[in-house]
Structure 1
């Protein structure tokens, strides 16, 4: 395998930090500090995903961990990679390897010299529930074969962390590794490491295909308990390819967003039907979104109805003279409410009121997306 150096190791540390901080100032990258170690972790934001704020720095911010005081990169996760054919990217005409794509959470495992301990993080946090789960697994295993300075990238799979695929066993699966110089560790060395570690973790399965066309033919027909493949080309470029059944289920899940729920409300659709199409793990997200949106709409319509009732004895002219006394959110709808005597007028009024509660950029005050939803949206990006 051609020696490929991780981009974060191939540039000056100050240039890396400057680029990350500029992306953070633009809202495309977040930064968090580990209380125990003082290390910083950078991760791209949902705004970056929605606004297509990708550049060389935001692409690196997928759990990149640095020691700012020491001026050093500590852990190098995969740079962000996309679905085959996405973003107009040209597929390299190069040899490739195909690895099973697992439907769990990326775990970044690294050695912290200050504490002499192997630590874990997810792409956006040191203390997420997935990182805590992985830390317990790592603490319980023999890590003597792991090399300090090398970043080990695992997939965490366990029942409480189901996205779409349900796996029969919980555990960590080693996906890849980058050594301290930024060199990506060849697959054969990963297999040796699994054996040296007494198989405390699995190593991701590699598949042999004669061509990309053969791989695509295979992935299209995958059952729902298989997500797809990650393709790694000889120049280090990665793309992901997903099965049709997985994409169908994932598409349903990816619509469990504030905007999608609002769209159904605006169209007069059946929210219960939308909920039934979702896997059970996502019902809590759906319910939280629906409750917030419905409460806002009911508050608005109740306010308009009450104001109209209080003004029932006033003429339009008299009401117009007192309109400044009506609260701002209600004021635009008071006259239309009084005059909505037909189904068409009432529907027009309903849509106008709904537009005032439309989520902005898929963000909704009062709703905190679950990790599973964030992961689903991230995978859709």
Structure 2
């Protein structure tokens, strides 16, 4: 919690008590001005029994893989007041991220010479953008109320973002486990403000997935093992971003050319025909990452990786993991002199992890040519 910097308006005389209904409307209007497409409010004290038990079961099954941070915070993830004492409300916000100029995703995925990068990662790191905007919103709330007990989050702490967004009425959880809205599909970022201001809460919306299972059916590695249940250890986003080790050989061919994340379950979702283009310049395509060849990216040295991806969410996986992912993509690419030469160039890379994946990739091409 931030320290109180002025008189607490909750303790003011009755004639000066804040109109929280009006304040909630003002907060939502400010949110729109700051670039958020929607703002909704949930009761942080509401029972999360089902979500909490589901999380604990998911963890006990080991579906989180090496994401130890998912387990170490215990119930603080589902009980906001244990993370930030005094929290009464969760203000959830969403911000669109689809850039206007990106090459069609399916075209890139089907072009084996190209590197597919999840569309949320084509521009600036969303953690910084969303958090900075939420901080501005919090600053406005403090200026208006004189009350400064809050904490801002953007995929940066043990927060059940989708669950709180769903409870607030921002959207509903799709069968792929992501938040969906009728207006914008799922191509947006989420962020939260925990606060002890007793703001009026919004009503949840209904689930509109119906009998559709397109997201489950299309998953390349069948990581969505049941509606609303994801085995992260099979998920390409987990394997290419969160997982630091040797990608299981059985899964490598299924990854195709997806070198950072995977959007298949979103791209196939009927609701994403309504996905809106972002107006945020920060999310515009950088370095041509929407339509770049695997060979070109594999040729970047460490300095180029650090320089070109400065400010990008991709940079956090590190150069070694980046090369590992690209080696898998090149192993799945159509055989060509350029592809073979690129792999041969790194056959004796200083990294054992990279060497292993490069040699696997070369073997794939040897098998095809024999």
TM-score range, shorter chain: under 0.3
More strand, by proportion? 1
Normalised TM-score (structure 2): 0.26
Structure of higher CA gyration radius: 1
Normalised TM-score (structure 1): 0.25
